[in-house]
Amino acid sequence: MVLQAIKYTRGSLQVLDQLKLPYHEVYRDIRTVQDAWDAIHSMQVRGAPAIAIVAALSIAACLARLKNTGADPALLGSDMSGAGPICDNLQLLLTSRPTAVNLADAVRKLEKVVWQAQAEPESTDYSINEAYIQAAEQMLVDDVQDNENIGNYGADWMSRHTITAFPAAKLSVLTHCNTGSLATAGYGTALGIIRSLHSHGHLKRAFYTETRPYNQGSRLTGYELLHDNIPSTMITDSMAGALLGTKREEENISCIIVGADRVAANGDTANKIGTYGLAVLAKYHNVKFIVAAPRTTIDLLTPTGQDIKIENRKPIEVTTMRGPTLQSSSDGSVTVGKDVQEIAIAADLTGAWNPAFDVTCHGLIDAIVTEKGVVEKDENGDFNFEKIFAD
């Protein structure tokens, strides 16, 4: 089974409800733009590239149903067709989550497609709709290829910048959050590099953090690594320092690989909360720290990390945890039950701080791996993205 966060055919869009993973695989129908907004905002679907793709395809699916079926009950009364309504819906979707730039990048590109289609001689709502649908569908196709390129560029860079015994030796790496097929259209970014290292026979073990409070690591990255039979070990977020400090061969981390939600023009990177601390640990322990991100995550319009808006989410997401019930058997074995329960894990359910992201300054980042190649700092310690945007 291929791991699919997004299931799309023209006129139909479903997302894998990631709030229920890893124990329950439930797909949700996305029949309206509001359905997409709700799924993104609640983090049923999450991950910078996946958020942008689901948003774009939610409008495409509605437009296709309008064309194919005339009047879809879910769309009755909603003015979807044509440049204006499409752009209004794109702007609505933009409000679902603020930090990841991929969504804003997709909105900018799709609005341009729509206005250009409207400017065509004899354009009609349907010709504009069709232009939009094709552009949105292309995003889904491009993302998987981009991720495979990131994977290969990243694996190649590591072969030249980590242990000298490469390729004979194998590397152990640490990753944070989830940056795989569940955060993208497929293969993944940072997890894509781990997949490429593994497929090239160069991965000893992938360590991954649980990534509190949403547990993208323990629930999603663990789910993906198990699915792909990649040797992996989970650690709690608080164990990262001890892991980097150990000098035992089997836990010797050569590189920390993370994704990104927004890379500013100077290379400062917003990513899942906890990333900055890992970058500081990497610097202290002389371990490489690389960011994997498609160009749609690089925001040349945002000068530095200080200009990135960080999403603050509800305290209740920190002070509670959700998971399936466990059933113990007389032989001591434990099985996972069907019922999902939510439990309080804090004395005060209201007092937590819950920023969803933090910013890692570019000085702590050794390389930014994109689908067009690896960007490293110049002799002045600055990142320059001109080359990868040249085409």
Ligand X SMILES: CSC[C@H]1O[C@H](OP(=O)(O)O)[C@H](O)[C@@H]1O
Omega before residue 315 within 30° of 0, cis: no
Of 47, 85, 213, 274, which one interacts with ligand X (CB under 6 A)? Answer: 47
Of 179, 181, 232, 319, which one interacts with ligand X (CB under 6 A)? Answer: 179
Minimum gap (Å) between residue 188 Cβ and ligand X:
6
Q: Which of residues 181-220 bind ligand X (CB under 6 A)?
A: 183-184, 189, 216
- Name the residue number minimizing CB distance to ligand X: 259
Q: Which of 17, 35, 72, 261 is catalytic?
A: 261
Burial 213-251 (b: 16+ CB within 10 A, else e): bbbbbbbbbbbbbeebebebebbebeebeebbeeeeeeb
Total chain residues near ligand X (CB under 6 A): 15
| Residue placing its CB nearer to ligand X in the complex, 93 or 356 | 356
Burial 72-111 (b: 16+ CB within 10 A, else e): beebeeeebbbbebbbebbeebbebbbbbbbbbbbbebbb
In angstroms, the CA 154 to CA 158 distance is 6
Minimum gap (Å) between residue 182 Cβ and ligand X:
9
6: its two tokens: 């997004």
Minimum gap (Å) between residue 110 Cβ and ligand X:
20
Which amino acid, 140?
Answer: L
| Residue placing its CB nearer to ligand X in the complex, 253 or 356 | 356
Indicate whether 103 belongs to the interface with ligand X (CB under 6 A).
Answer: no
| Residue placing its CB nearer to ligand X in the complex, 154 or 259 | 259
Helices 101-119 & 83-94, crossing angle to 10 degrees? 170
Of 356, 364, 367, 369, which one interacts with ligand X (CB under 6 A)? Answer: 356
Would residue 261 show up in a list of annotated catalytic residues for this protein?
yes
Cα of 323 vs its chain's centroid, Å? 22
Indicate whether 272 belongs to the interface with ligand X (CB under 6 A).
Answer: yes
Indicate whether 261 belongs to the interface with ligand X (CB under 6 A).
Answer: yes
Cα of 125 vs its chain's centroid, Å? 33
Indicate whether 44 belongs to the interface with ligand X (CB under 6 A).
Answer: no
Minimum gap (Å) between residue 154 Cβ and ligand X:
13
Indicate whether 259 belongs to the interface with ligand X (CB under 6 A).
Answer: yes
Contact residues for ligand X (CB under 6 A)? Answer: 46-49, 177, 179, 183-184, 189, 216, 259, 261, 271-272, 356
Catalytic residues: 261
